[in-house]
Amino acid sequence: MAEFAAHLNQGTANANPTIFEIVAQESMATVLRPAVSYGLKVLATSNPDRWGWLWRVGDELYVILDYIVQNHYLKNFGGSISEHFYGLKRVFNVENGESSGGISNYHRYLSLIMLVAVPYAKLKLDQLFERIREENVTGYLASYSSRKRSYFLQLKRVFIYVYPWLHFTGETAILSYYLLYIFKFCNVHSPLLHVIGVSLQRLTRQDMLAHSMQNVNTGVFSGKTLTERISAIPRSLAHLLASVLANGLPVIVFFLKFIDWWYSSENKGAVQAVTQLPIPPPPPQPKPAQHGVKLPPHPAQCPLCKKVCTNPTALSSSGYVFCYPCIYKYLNQHGCCPVTHLPSASKQLVRLYVDDTN
Ligand SMILES: [Zn+2]
Give kind and range of the element (H or E) at residue 350: strand 349-351
Give the Å distance between the CA of 133 and the centre of ligand 1: 23
Q: What are phi and psi of 309, to 5 degrees?
A: -60, 130
Please report the pLDDT score of residue 358 as a whole number. 45
180 within 8 A of 186, measured Cβ to Cβ: yes
> In 3D, which of 250, 233, 206, 196 has the Cα closest to residue 33?
250
322 CA from centroid of ligand 1 (Å): 6
In this predicted model, what pLDDT tens digit does every residue of 324-345 receive, in sequence order?
Answer: 999 999 998 888 999 999 989 8
Rg of the chain, C-alpha, whole Å:
26
| Distance between Cα 55 and ligand 1 center (Å) | 25
Per-residue confidence band for 168, with pLDDT thresholds at 50, 70 and 90: very high
Distance 345 CA to ligand 1 centre (A): 17
| pLDDT tens track for 80-93 | 888 888 888 888 87
Q: What is the pLDDT of residues 179-211, one digit of tens each?
A: 999 988 888 899 999 988 888 888 888 787 877
Taking the C-alpha atoms of residue 2 and residue 113, their distance in angstroms, rounded to an integer, is 26
Distance in Å, CA 307 to ligand 1 centroid = 6
Task: Say what the pLDDT of residue 313 is.
Answer: 93
Handedness of CA 24, 25, 31, 35 (dihedral sign): positive
**pLDDT of residue 219 exceeding 50:** yes
Contact 240, 51 (CB under 8 A): no
Q: Average pLDDT of 139-166?
A: 77
Ligand 1 centre and the CA of 301: distance in Å? 8
pTM over 0.85: no
CA of 352 relative to ligand 1 center, distance in Å: 14
Alpha carbon distance 39, 252 (integer Å)? 9
User: Which residues lie near ion ligand 1 (Cβ < 5 Å)?
Assistant: 302, 304-305, 323, 326
Q: 325 C-alpha to center of ligand 1: Å? A: 7
Closest by CA position to 76, among listed 215, 245, 224, 221? 215
Measured in Å, residue 357 CA sits from the centre of ligand 1 at: 16
Determine the distance separating the centroid of ligand 1 and the alpha carbon of 139, expressed in angstroms.
18
In degrees and rounded to multiples of 5, residue 129 shows phi and psi of: -60, -45
Q: Which residues pair with 93 in a beta bridge?
A: 99
pLDDT at 13: 47
Cβ pair 1, 83 in contact under 8 A: no
What is the distance between the terminal CA atoms of the chain, rounded to a whole angstrom?
A: 64
pLDDT for the residue 298:
87
Average the pLDDT over 6-29 and give the result. 70
Least confident of 53-57, 59-63, 245-249: 245-249
Angstrom distance (rounded) from CA 22 to CA 200: 9
Q: Ligand 1 centroid vs 330 CA: distance in angstroms?
A: 10
Give residue 303 CA to ligand 1 midpoint distance, Å.
7
Q: Is the per-residue pLDDT at 77 higher than 80?
A: yes
Confidence of residue 257 (pLDDT cuts 50, 70, 90): low
Between β-strands 312-315 and 198-202, what pairing exists: parallel, antiparallel or unpaired?
Answer: unpaired
pLDDT confidence tier of residue 148, bands split at 50, 70 and 90: low
Q: CA–CA separation, 57 vs 147, rounded Å?
A: 29
Ligand 1 centroid from CA 131, angstroms? 21
- The answer to whether the CB of 94 falls within 8 A of the CB of 10 is no
Q: Does the pLDDT value for residue 98 go beyond 70?
A: no
Least confident among 10-14, 133-137, 298-302, 337-341: 10-14
C-alpha dist (Å) from residue 164 to 74, 123, 133, 309: 32, 14, 11, 36
Q: Please answer whether residues 147 and 94 qualify as being in contact, where contact means their C-beta atoms are separated by less than 8 angstroms.
A: no
| Whether the Cβ atoms of residue 323 and residue 311 lie closer than 8 Å to each other | yes
When the pLDDT of each residue in the chain is averaged and rounded to a whole number, the result is 79
- Ligand 1 centroid, distance to 328 Cα (angstroms): 10
Q: DSSP 3-state assignment of 47? A: coil
What helix, strand, coil percent values describe the chain, rounded to 5? 60, 5, 30
pLDDT value of residue 205: 81
Centre of ligand 1 from the C-alpha of residue 342, in Å: 19
